[in-house]
Amino acid sequence: MRFVTYERDGIDRFGVLTGEGKVLDLEGATAARLAREVPLDRALAVAHALTPPEARAFIATGALALDAARRALDFAAAANDPQGPSGEAILFPREAVRLKAPVPRPRKFIAAGKNYFAHQQEMQQRADPNGPKVPIAHVQFASTVIGPDETVRFPSETKHMDYEVEIAAVIGRPAFRVGRGEALDYVFGYTIFNDITDRDMYRGENREGGGIGLLGKNFAGFSPLGPVLCTADEVGDPQHLDLRTRVNGETRQDSNSSLMMFKIHEQIAHWSEIGLEPGDMLGSGTPGGVAAGRKPGEPLWWLKRGDVVECEVERIGVLTTRIA
């Protein structure tokens, strides 16, 4: 299934895409289905519990929520004009709603660094053939998260803005000190993450602070996510997915997740030492092809105002971001 957080009439809701690409309000569809069998007040209460209208709460409800979502899709498919229990609209053309980040405010958002050898090579004057011995990462704050088709504005401090396509894994149940062999069992699904970076600030933090940067990754809007949250069964093996970035239609990154140094299950196992919760997110690193990796004499690829960035991941979709 492919879930979305969407806004309609100024209210954020949680929904699922139908086979026709329409957005189905899960709580409304579940309430309408249940209202055929139980009193309305009961149907509304149970629907709210089974299919909460907020991403993290829905994810935390686990198998019960997923089963209710499947039933909601079946209910909508069987009806000529599905409506909510009070006759309200619950099925919308995609263009009639505004898609938001699938998980708008994750409690924890850990983004891997130097996790593709090609990216490690392009970012270092002298390539380290060994690379990191353990997964490394920076932290993204929830305040940086925006959705698909949104605009990122240049901070006044920024001169060199960069893009990074990544697969983001969304945790589905509490994970603490899990083993690598079982780590993927804790994944609810996957979405696309564009790890936008102020390279001057980030490099300065590394150079002057001697470690991983923070501010250079966390200006407003620097964490576009979306457009959908695909369940793990919909995506299949996350280590055999093509990743691409296009800027104004020109391909900049073109790789495959099989080339990750630390696979997603290894990253989950490692960071589960912190204790991961439903809705927490793990960015899995970016392949080569970023603007900062350009060599002397090559055309500059820094993002500029007016650019349109498309980050594509196989089986998930395309995340579009505009720069202003």
- Domain coverage including residue 232: 109-323
Question: Considering the domain boundaries, does residue 90 fall inside one?
Answer: yes
CATH for 278: 3.90.850.10
pLDDT at 82 over 70: yes
Beta bridge partner(s), residue 260: 116
Mean pLDDT, range 64-86, rounded to an integer: 96
Contacts of 185 (CB under 8 A, 6+ apart): none
In a domain, 129, yes or no: yes
Q: Which of 242, 317, 313 is nearest to 21 (CA)?
A: 317
Q: How far from chain centre, in Å, is Cα 276? A: 16
For residue 225, give the nearest of 307, 291, 149, 315 by alpha carbon.
Answer: 149
Give the domain-ending residue among 58, 76, 99: 99
The Cα 125–Cα 119 span in angstroms is 12
Residues 198 and 235 in one domain: yes
Each residue's pLDDT tens digit, 187-244: 999 999 999 999 887 665 655 555 566 788 999 999 999 999 999 999 999 999 999 9
How many whole angstroms separate alpha carbon 170 and alpha carbon 59?
9
Same domain for 67 and 135, yes or no, is no
pLDDT tens, position by position, 121-175: 887 755 555 678 899 999 999 999 999 999 999 998 899 999 999 999 999 999 9
Other CB atoms within 10 Å distance of the CB of residue 227: 23
Which pLDDT score is estimated for 210?
Answer: 52
| 169, 270: one domain | yes
- Inside any domain, residue 104: no
Q: First and final CA of the chain: distance in angstroms?
A: 33
262 and 159 share a domain?
Answer: yes
pTM of the model: 0.95
Closest CA to 214 of 222, 205, 223: 205
- Indicate the pLDDT class of residue 90, thresholds 50, 70 and 90: very high
Task: Please say whether the beta carbons of 291 and 162 come within 8 A.
Answer: yes
Domain end point (choices 71, 99, 127): 99
The reported pLDDT for the residue numbered 92 is 98
pLDDT per residue as tens digits for the range 269-312: 999 999 999 999 999 999 999 999 999 999 999 999 999 999 99
Last residue of a domain, one of 99, 130, 155: 99
Q: Same domain, yes or no, for 243 and 113?
A: yes
Regarding whether 300 and 265 lie in a shared domain, the answer is yes
